[in-house]
Copies of this chain bind each other. A is one copy, B any other.
Amino acid sequence: MTNTFEFSPHVNEQLSDAIVREREYIGFYDLCDQDITPFLELAASVKQKNIVIIGIGGSALGASAVYRFLDLVRSFEKKLHILDTTDPLVLGSKLNSFDMQDAYYCLISKSGGTIETVAVAKYIDNEIKLNSENSVIITDSGSMLEQFAHSRGISHFSIPNDVGGRFSVLSSAGLIPLALVGVDIKLLLEGAQKVRDAFFNEQGYCHSLMQKATYYAQHANTYNINCLFSYSEVFREFNAWYVQLWGESLGKKQRHSELHVGLTPVGLIGPTDQHSFLQLIVDGKRDKSVTVIKIKEFDNPMKIPESSFENMESMDIINGYSFSELINMQADSMVEALDALDDIPLDIIEIESVNASEIGQLILYYELLTALVANMLDINAYDQPGVEMGKVILKEKLKG
């Protein structure tokens, strides 16, 4: 992947020292070095056709992002199903969409006490007993869910203590379901490693990412919305992962001032959302930056035929182009149109093709960018104190 932009603020080089220090106690930076043998061994032993994640938020979005990215091209033999809600309508519909007996369940909860996850797990356990043959548990070491795994004899894996939920896609939480479904997790980590190493070892790469982060942080009050305009449906779940990562990491009270700060992520899919959100970007308030993601090589043969619709000959200008060419020309046209406006911060990420290495790169790129912006905004990227009050109120209600 490459990233092109014209941000050129003065960069505070102490920022990279802060990240170097942070790397000592924050775990996501070095997940690409972990030993994945146990995950691969588990994957080799599982025969079920349906891999089911029972998990929500950071326990579902990462695996979903990688799987959906690859599945439209690779079409995995095993299917990944994600139960990340308490909505009975969609739960019922999803449970009807696969054979519950021919399924392997990944119960994923960092704290071990996530209400949605336990509610769904109890429902499924009541239908088909969860046991060592049909399930695995992934949770914090020492959690009550780990205790439950012990008492049932279900194998369990830890999420490292220093890796937060929304940064956990490259830990056991994401890698196990992905390995089970057949994703090349080695290649995924190699992609992440490439970006990690470039950031820590190549001054140019590091400086350029810091420029982007500095621009976002310095303009947080003007450009408080960051649109990710991804030109392919394969990015739909990646966009959702980005929304959680960016929103939940960067929506905080500042450490020293206690001021509310926050950058709002918006995920868009091109060209579809050119017919929905683009008008707002072009003519609306100047409160948005835009990042466009493009795929260089779709490697897909679908073409617009050389045919003429009677009375519509003026449309024959599209004839003979492949759909891949067309979607990329649409992306380029939008970029040119936005560039001409000159007051919308814009950058382009281009990935080579749809494969595990490229999505691994993209993941680490966004995690690093998030960490950098959080440091500049003087906030803790790794906690989420704001969601506690709702949980407390819910527990009171449940007790009646």
Cβ B119 vs Cβ A251 within 8 A: no
CB distance from A134 to the nearest CB of B (A): 16
Q: Which residues on B sit within 8 Å (CB–CB) of A89?
A: 72-73, 232-234, 298, 300, 354
Kindly supply a per-residue 1/0 record for chain A positions 67-94, scoring 1 wherever the CB is within 8 Å of any chain B CB and 0 otherwise.
Answer: 0000011000000000011111111110
B276-A244 in contact (CB<8A): yes
Evaluate contact between B276 and A248: CB separation under 8 angstroms. yes
The reply to whether B389 and A340 form a contact with Cβ atoms under 8 Å apart is yes
Residues of the B chain whose Cβ atoms lie less than 8 Å from the Cβ of A317: 395, 398-399
Tell me, yes or no, whether A44 is within 8 Å of chain B by CB: no
Minimal Cβ-Cβ distance residue in B for A324: B88
Q: A90-B233, A148-B311 are in contact. Are A387 and B282 (CB under 8 A)?
A: yes
Query: Cβ of A332: which chain B residues have Cβ within 8 Å of it?
Result: 397
- Asked if B284 and A260 sit within 8 Å, CB to CB, the answer is yes
Which B residues touch A305, using CB under 8 A? 122-123, 125-126
Bound-state Cα–Cα, A360 to B17, Å: 56
- CB pair A311 B276 closer than 8 Å: no
Task: Specify which of B72, B90, B121, B148 is in contact with A310 (CB 8 Å cutoff).
Answer: B148
Interface residues of A in 337-374 (CB under 8 A from B): 337, 340, 354
The distance from the CB of A319 to the nearest CB of chain B, in whole angstroms, is: 8
Q: In residues 96-117 of chain A, which contact B (Cβ within 8 Å)?
A: 112-113, 115-116
A277 at the interface (CB under 8 A from B): yes
The answer to whether residues A386 and B283 also contact, given A271-B116, A354-B89 and a CB cut-off of 8 A, is yes
Report A197-221 CB contacts with B as 1/0, cut-off 8 Å.
Answer: 0000000000000000000000011
Q: Is A187 in contact with chain B by the CB < 8 A criterion?
A: no
- Of A6-14, A27-35, A53-61, A173-181, the one contacting chain B is A53-61
Q: Which label, helix, strand, loop or mixed, suits the secondary structure of the A interface?
A: helix
Count of chain A residues with Cβ under 8 Å from any Cβ of B? 118
* CB closest residue in chain B, given A332: B397
A279 touches B337 (CB 8 A): no
A20 at the interface (CB under 8 A from B): no
- Are the C-beta atoms of B86 and A323 separated by less than 8 Å? yes
Q: Which residue of B lies closest to A264 (CB)?
A: B225
Stretch in contact with the other chain, from A155-163, A188-196, A285-293: A285-293
- In the bound complex, residues from chain B placing their C-beta under 8 Å from that of A123 are 302-305, 323
User: Could you say which of B93, B148, B252, B327 contacts A86, with CB atoms under 8 Å apart?
Assistant: B327
Taken together as a complex, chains A and B put the C-alpha atoms of A228 and B349 apart, in Å, by 29
- A132 at interface (Cβ–Cβ under 8 A)? no
Q: Which residues of chain B have C-beta atoms less than 8 A from A287's C-beta?
A: 224, 262, 264
How distant is A220 from chain B, measured CB to nearest CB, in Å?
8
Q: Return A305 CB to nearest CB of chain B, in Å.
A: 4
What are 21 pairs between A and B in contact, CB < 8 Å?
Answer: A72-B89, A72-B90, A86-B323, A87-B234, A88-B298, A89-B233, A116-B271, A116-B275, A126-B305, A224-B225, A224-B287, A244-B276, A248-B276, A251-B280, A251-B281, A262-B287, A264-B264, A264-B266, A282-B389, A329-B398, A333-B393
Not counting A244-B277, A250-B280, A282-B387, a sample of 14 additional A-B residue pairs whose C-beta atoms are within 8 angstroms of each other reads A57-B275, A85-B233, A85-B271, A88-B298, A89-B354, A113-B312, A118-B315, A225-B264, A247-B280, A250-B284, A251-B280, A262-B284, A266-B266, A279-B384
